[in-house]
Structure 1
Amino acid sequence: MIQSFLNNHTVILASGSPRRHHFFKELGIDFKIDVREVEEIYPEHLKREAISNYLAELKAEAFNILNPQEIVITSDTIVWHNEKALGKPKTLDEAKTMLQSMSNQTHEVITSVCFKTATKIIVKHHTTQVTFKTLTDQEIEYYVETHQPLDKAGAYGIQEWIGYIGITSITGSFFTVMGLPTHIVYETLIELAKS
């Protein structure tokens, strides 16, 4: 359905994430993949969605010149917990520490999406609250050793084993936690196509 609005547009997804590729296919969007290397560093004073908004827009800025029919989409996800951002852990030990800090706690997952055309930049975000049960050291150890926590903000994937056994409640969008608030992508692309 959405593709009928986008027939005169070329959607460029600037993400290497297989999950995001899957979501775009499931939304019925024809898209090209073009990932450009960006050093994901943000000013230290930023908090919460200001961080993910900044990083999503930073990724979009790598696309300097766009044709009038092109729409570039970038996104960034952070976990916000105890007044700090948990990005992708650099080591397995750091991943374990992150998961221990979220055990028996509620944290926020914030995903921002940037839409860039030849004439405008739109940045939107969505926040979901996620609560973990008390995770045992053995459960954390098992997950970290058998999955790939280093490529995920907050060191976990909600769709993986730790999500199955550890998450007791979600307030918001499951898809935001997976890295793409699909409802925002759908609504904004239709707005852009009509404008």
Structure 2
Amino acid sequence: MWEHLAHYRVILGSQSPRRVELLRGLDLDFEQCTLPDVDESYPDGLALREIPSYIARKKAEAYYATLSEDTLLITADTLVFVEDEVLGKPRTPDEAASMLQRLSGRRHYVTTGVSIRTSQHDLSFADTAAVDFLPLTSREIEYYVQHYSPLDKAGAYGIQEWIGYTAISSIEGSFYTVMGLPVHLVSKYLKTL
């Protein structure tokens, strides 16, 4: 399927085990490479839905010094938006619980931005899905925070985990965008290289 990419060393620049799982689902040979402490800040005034693509491009830039001409680099970033509030990864269990309380019984949006770079191509794109949560009790939030790993997930939840099974009433858009990588678009753009 990916013979036209055979001359590239494909690298997923991500610490996310979910992105590894999703990219593997495309039957694409790749390596995972992570750089610590990539700056994920963004300028004030940037449109909310542009932030994930901006951060995905910043992550790609952090890898430039280590890339060779035969490298194809994929980086991504996911953020959750409720009203005009940006929910990234929580820093503490209490912050995770607060985020989940904020999402309880509400519609929110999950945007994943992606950057695909080679020495001759520089592509970036984003995909957004709308997610509706049922109301969550304090006990449910406490259970999820104690038994799962909300600190490494935007919005403090993983759609593929217990809370996704019990709290999500509907999704408009790609499940995989919410999980952390819009693989349908990654596939589409990789076919154009």
- TM-score between the two structures when normalised by the length of structure 1: 0.94
Task: Give the whole-Å Cα distance in 1 for the aligned partners of 2:49 and 2:122.
Answer: 17
Residue 57 of structure 2 is matched in structure 1 by 57
The amino acid that maps onto 1:136 is: T
The amino acid that maps onto 2:113 is: S
Unaligned runs of 5+ in 2: none
* 1:41 Cα deviation after fit: 1.1
Residue 107 of structure 2 is matched in structure 1 by 106
* 1:79 Cα deviation after fit: 0.1
Task: Give the whole-Å Cα distance in 1 for the aligned partners of 2:134 and 2:104.
Answer: 6
Equivalent residue of 1:11, what SS? strand
Q: Deviations over 1:7-45 (max 9, x none)?
A: 122211101211111122221100122212312111122
Task: Give the whole-Å Cα distance in 2 for the aligned partners of 1:7 and 1:119.
Answer: 16
Equivalent residue of 2:191, what SS? helix
Residue 8 of structure 1 is matched in structure 2 by 7
Structure 1 runs of 4+ aligned residues shifted over 6 Å read none
| 1:10-25 paired onto structure 2 within 5 Å | 10-25=9-24
Residue 42 of structure 2 is matched in structure 1 by 42
**Matched-pair contact (CA < 8 Å) for 1:48–1:110:** no
Task: Give the whole-Å Cα distance in 1 for the aligned partners of 2:48 and 2:28.
Answer: 29
Task: Give the whole-Å Cα distance in 2 for the aligned partners of 1:183 and 1:100.
Answer: 31
The amino acid that maps onto 1:36 is: L
Task: Give the whole-Å Cα distance in 1 for the aligned partners of 2:24 and 2:94.
Answer: 35
The amino acid that maps onto 2:44 is: E
Task: Give the whole-Å Cα distance in 2 for the aligned partners of 1:155 and 1:46.
Answer: 23
The amino acid that maps onto 1:152 is: K
The amino acid that maps onto 2:39 is: E
The amino acid that maps onto 1:7 is: A
Q: Supply the RMSD in Å over aligned alpha carbons.
A: 1.2
Equivalent residue of 1:169, what SS? strand
Task: Give the whole-Å Cα distance in 2 for the aligned partners of 1:100 and 1:17.
Answer: 24
Unaligned runs of 5+ in 1: none
Residue 75 of structure 1 is matched in structure 2 by 76
* 1:119 Cα deviation after fit: 2.7
Q: Deviations over 1:125-148 (max 9, x none)?
A: 000000000111111111111111
The amino acid that maps onto 1:68 is: E
Task: Give the whole-Å Cα distance in 2 for the aligned partners of 1:175 and 1:146.
Answer: 23
Residue 138 of structure 1 is matched in structure 2 by 139
Q: Deviations over 1:85-129 (max 9, x none)?
A: 100001111111111111110000000100111133211000000
* 1:62 Cα deviation after fit: 1.3
**Matched-pair contact (CA < 8 Å) for 1:47–1:84:** no
Residue 167 of structure 1 is matched in structure 2 by 168
Task: Give the whole-Å Cα distance in 2 for the aligned partners of 1:119 and 1:63.
Answer: 16
The amino acid that maps onto 1:131 is: D
Equivalent residue of 2:77, what SS? strand
